[in-house]
A = this chain, B = another copy of it.
Amino acid sequence: MGVVDVRQPLGDDGEQRRERRAWHHDAQALHELAPDLPVLPGPLTEYRQMASFDWKQLRVLLEDPETLRVKMNLWRKLEADPMFAHPKATPSVEEQKRHVAVQLKRFVEINLIPREVHSWGYKNKTKFMMAVNAATASWNKNLSVKFGLGVSLFTNALLSLGTERHLPFYEAVWDNKFLFCLGMTEVGHGSNTKSVRTTATYDPKTQEFIIHTPDFEAAKCWAGNLGKTCTHAMLFAQLYTADSCHGLHAFLVPIRDPETLTPYPGVKVGDIGEKAGLNGIDNGFAMFDHFRIPRENLLNRTGDVTPDGEYESCFQNPEQILGAALENLLAGRVAISQESTHDLCAAVTIAVRYAAVRKQGSPRNSKEELSILEYPLHQWRLFPYVAAACSFKVFMDLFTDQYLEIVEQSYKGAEMKDITSMAAEVHAIVSAMKPLITWTCASALQESREACGGHGYLKSSMLGTMRADHDATVTYEGDNNVLSQQASNWVVRHWSLAKQGNSAALLDASPLGTLNFLLNAEDKLKKRFTGTSKTDVMNAHFVMASYEWLLCWLTKALDNQLQKLKSAGVDRFTARAEVQAFYAKPLALAYGENNVLCYFWEKIQTPGIPSEIKCVLERLLVLYGLWGIQRHFVIFYRGGYATGSQLADLVQEACQTVCNQLKPDIVAIVDAIAHPDAVVKSILGRSDGRIYDHLYDAFMSQQGHMERPAWWREVAAKPQSKL
């Protein structure tokens, strides 16, 4: 295969893209992206008939049709290949690992990522790979994580941290000869890079690095693929030359013979064992005992060691390094947020369809039982998650585009005067977005499981499996609480500009505009809630303005607290820890929510959206916003924005009303964000809504379900026990 450096200049393909975007009005293409739903009348039909809009139109509006097409195509291919079929019963942990490992091999073998993507330039290539990743994650998260760590994230990292001499590794991975793992985390520490204790000491005599693990707490740990299958690690270690430490560097370290998978002597490597989920991935640990690797295996884009042991830093082009670092740190978090948005869509697909079909209770004098979807509490439990799913989908679509554009520009060394501010802002956006989206998805999965009652506890509902697999996301690739702190640190740093009313500096600091809420902050903080009726709060203007007030208040309050502690002589580390629970964390979450609202709002303004769809989108935005506002209620009172019962009364009333307005459309909204049945794989969430038929099939297809168990004699009563 021909490997092309991703950093090659790209032609302006704007024209071409606009053309490609146009086709989605074509009926054939629309059919491909939004295949017809079952026509046989089923329990969902009635709700579908109530919808005020065409779900297919909404589907191609909520997601870039090109991205959607990549996903739909991939799903068709995975569905058609028996190798990717899901086993009926959960196999042993060992068999799960084997199955995913052979799936991964096949995934690369049959070119699910066509080789030509390598020539598309960074942005187009990565966008494509991210679509494939998210779609694969919805099919089988084990597979996507294994692929991401072992192939795609690795090769991306290789291109930005390595140089020409490492390209053979790139090719070998894409040719299924090598498989990598990323070795950062150690047993005693998470991804806190300062605490990494593995060493790589240069020996000029043999021109080798000696990789060494001082003790078990410094053992590399958790790396996916390390447990049983990887041939190499991209290992992070402290680089030493002649007793001087040059900090963390990445090394390509052979772990197992690629032809026999036998670990090399000097590497103590194994699997860390069973987990709460994702058991198809062989997370591993490794300890190195003075293990020697060639000098050339140092990834030397940022620093190198000469054959005779001189360390040389090579920061010729800081912007490129910055872009590379940015991309490496953040790509994984963007991908996780995309996957979580998928999981959130799947969760509400299952819970809403189930709620439409499941009946319970009826008003006195009525014979017909009500669908549980008709209960206001049930709506309030689920519809905000539907609104979140749609909002996140739009946000991730738009933000990913911006993010990739910025990285690409930085790679090209383009003239971007504000690249440093942009990098910092993107980092803050991602640091707020990943916690917000993964936590929202986790609670949606839990609420959906509860909303499906006992049947939601069946494995075949898929909610339990999704919850267990998704759960890892809230602490990996940057713990959510740690990331939140980074986001709030960035926001609060700008309060002084806001206080000075220095709008120009604020705009400079936030090229993407996510700090716009701080413009005229002191004026905004003087605003008071004056609404007197439900309609005063049931609109996007109220939601957006309230969020601006909220963010200004939180930023100012956090700054005040920090200043107060500083004046009292408290050091910065301790001060930040003190304010985290009640100031910094709420600020980070509110900042993330506001970003989602702003991007979603922008999307709704796209010219040409049919009015009935625009109306639905606005309701979703309002519901998502009010849901957030009621979580932050106390701040509005505490900060004097509201007094008395009015705000809380009206917002709650509005929440219930918007839910009720969305009710006739909710099944169609879910149709617009639902993945195909074969992807959702839930007997409760199928598009035909025939839950009882699917339950019947599931019960009847249990292996040997009607026979006595093979072990009957161990538990049966002794003869003559009958009464």
Q: A639-B645, A717-B178 are in contact. Are A454 and B475 (CB under 8 A)?
A: yes
User: In the complex the two chains form, is A93's CB within 8 Å of B89's CB?
Assistant: yes
Interface flag for A581 (CB, 8 Å): yes
Write the nearest CB–CB distance from A566 to chain B, whole angstroms: 13
User: In the complex the two chains form, is A377's CB within 8 Å of B585's CB?
Assistant: yes
Between A and B, 28 residue pairs with Cβ closer than 8 Å are: A90-B274, A98-B709, A98-B714, A101-B714, A102-B714, A187-B692, A190-B360, A259-B716, A260-B716, A261-B709, A261-B715, A263-B706, A263-B708, A270-B699, A270-B706, A272-B698, A273-B698, A275-B458, A275-B459, A276-B449, A276-B468, A361-B573, A375-B580, A376-B577, A450-B480, A457-B475, A634-B634, A635-B648
Q: In the complex, A177→B638 CA distance in Å?
A: 65
User: Which A residues contact B (CB, under 8 angstroms)?
Assistant: 89-90, 92-94, 97-98, 101-102, 104-105, 168-169, 172, 176-179, 185, 187-190, 192, 195, 216-217, 221-222, 228-229, 231, 256, 258-263, 268-277, 285, 359-365, 369, 375-377, 380-381, 442, 446, 449-450, 453-454, 456-461, 463-465, 467-468, 471-472, 474-476, 479-481, 571-574, 577-578, 580-582, 585, 630, 633-635, 637-640, 642-645, 648-649, 652, 655-656, 692, 695-696, 698-700, 702, 705-706, 708-712, 714-723
Collect the chain B residues with CB atoms within 8 Å of residue A642's CB: 637
User: In the complex the two chains form, is A695's CB within 8 Å of B187's CB?
Assistant: yes
User: In the complex the two chains form, is B706's CB within 8 Å of A269's CB?
Assistant: yes
Write the nearest CB–CB distance from A379 to chain B, whole angstroms: 8
User: In the complex the two chains form, is B261's CB within 8 Å of A216's CB?
Assistant: no
Q: A105-B715, A457-B275 are in contact. Are A268 and B573 (CB under 8 A)?
A: no
Q: Out of B268, B460, B582, which one reaches A706, CB within 8 Å?
A: B268
User: In the complex the two chains form, is B360's CB within 8 Å of A97's CB?
Assistant: no
User: In the complex the two chains form, is A90's CB within 8 Å of B93's CB?
Assistant: yes
User: In the complex the two chains form, is B723's CB within 8 Å of A172's CB?
Assistant: yes
Collect the chain B residues with CB atoms within 8 Å of residue A723's CB: 168-169, 172
Q: In the complex, A720→B177 CA distance in Å?
A: 9
Collect the chain B residues with CB atoms within 8 Å of residue A376's CB: 577-578, 580-581
Find the B residue at minimum CB distance from A462.
B276
User: In the complex the two chains form, is A464's CB within 8 Å of B275's CB?
Assistant: yes
Find the B residue at minimum CB distance from A585.
B377
Collect the chain B residues with CB atoms within 8 Å of residue A381's CB: 581
User: In the complex the two chains form, is B457's CB within 8 Å of A472's CB?
Assistant: yes
Find the B residue at minimum CB distance from A693.
B216
Find the B residue at minimum CB distance from A696.
B216
Q: Out of B222, B276, B364, B708, which one reaches A256, CB within 8 Å?
A: B708
Write the nearest CB–CB distance from A89 to chain B, whole angstroms: 6
Collect the chain B residues with CB atoms within 8 Å of residue A365's CB: 571
Collect the chain B residues with CB atoms within 8 Å of residue A715's CB: 101-102, 104-105, 179, 229, 261
Collect the chain B residues with CB atoms within 8 Å of residue A105's CB: 714-715
Most central of A456, A655, A705 by chain B CB within 10 Å: A705
Write the nearest CB–CB distance from A276 to chain B, whole angstroms: 3
Q: Out of B231, B276, B638, B718, which one reaches A464, CB within 8 Å?
A: B276
Q: In the complex, A696→B369 CA distance in Å?
A: 57
User: In the complex the two chains form, is B276's CB within 8 Å of A699's CB?
Assistant: no
8 other A-B residue contacts (CB within 8 Å) besides A94-B709, A364-B573, A376-B578: A92-B92, A98-B714, A102-B711, A179-B715, A275-B464, A442-B446, A450-B475, A634-B634
Write the nearest CB–CB distance from A224 to chain B, whole angstroms: 11
Collect the chain B residues with CB atoms within 8 Å of residue A277's CB: 457, 464
User: In the complex the two chains form, is B721's CB within 8 Å of A360's CB?
Assistant: no
Q: In the complex, A656→B228 CA distance in Å?
A: 45
User: In the complex the two chains form, is B89's CB within 8 Å of A92's CB?
Assistant: yes
User: In the complex the two chains form, is B460's CB within 8 Å of A274's CB?
Assistant: yes
Top-3 shortest CB links A-B: A276-B464, A270-B705, A274-B459
Find the B residue at minimum CB distance from A584.
B377
User: In the complex the two chains form, is B262's CB within 8 Å of A708's CB?
Assistant: yes
Q: In the complex, A398→B59 CA distance in Å?
A: 56
User: In the complex the two chains form, is A581's CB within 8 Å of B270's CB?
Assistant: no
Collect the chain B residues with CB atoms within 8 Å of residue A285's CB: 699
User: In the complex the two chains form, is A261's CB within 8 Å of B708's CB?
Assistant: yes
Q: A89-B92, A273-B458, A723-B168 are in contact. Are A648 and B656 (CB under 8 A)?
A: no
Collect the chain B residues with CB atoms within 8 Å of residue A172's CB: 721, 723
Q: In the complex, A585→B380 CA distance in Å?
A: 12
Q: A377-B577, A450-B480, A711-B101 are in contact. Are A458 and B192 (CB under 8 A)?
A: no
Q: Out of B168, B189, B638, which one reaches A360, CB within 8 Å?
A: B189
Write the nearest CB–CB distance from A22 to chain B, whole angstroms: 44
Write the nearest CB–CB distance from A133 to chain B, whole angstroms: 21
User: In the complex the two chains form, is A453's CB within 8 Å of B468's CB?
Assistant: no
Write the nearest CB–CB distance from A228 to chain B, whole angstroms: 5
Q: In the complex, A89→B271 CA distance in Å?
A: 13
User: In the complex the two chains form, is A699's CB within 8 Å of B459's CB?
Assistant: no
Q: In the complex, A692→B188 CA distance in Å?
A: 8
Collect the chain B residues with CB atoms within 8 Å of residue A722's CB: 258-259
User: In the complex the two chains form, is A717's CB within 8 Å of B231's CB?
Assistant: yes
Collect the chain B residues with CB atoms within 8 Å of residue A168's CB: 723
Collect the chain B residues with CB atoms within 8 Å of residue A97's CB: 709
Q: A259-B721, A464-B468, A638-B648 are in contact. Are A271 and B705 (CB under 8 A)?
A: yes
Write the nearest CB–CB distance from A535 to chain B, whole angstroms: 19
Collect the chain B residues with CB atoms within 8 Å of residue A652's CB: 582
User: In the complex the two chains form, is A217's CB within 8 Å of B692's CB?
Assistant: yes
Q: Out of B269, B645, B696, B709, which one reaches A229, CB within 8 Å?
A: B709
Write the nearest CB–CB distance from A32 to chain B, whole angstroms: 34
Find the B residue at minimum CB distance from A258.
B717
Find the B residue at minimum CB distance from A222.
B454
User: In the complex the two chains form, is B454's CB within 8 Å of A471's CB?
Assistant: no
Q: In the complex, A465→B464 CA distance in Å?
A: 12
Q: In the complex, A361→B460 CA distance in Å?
A: 43
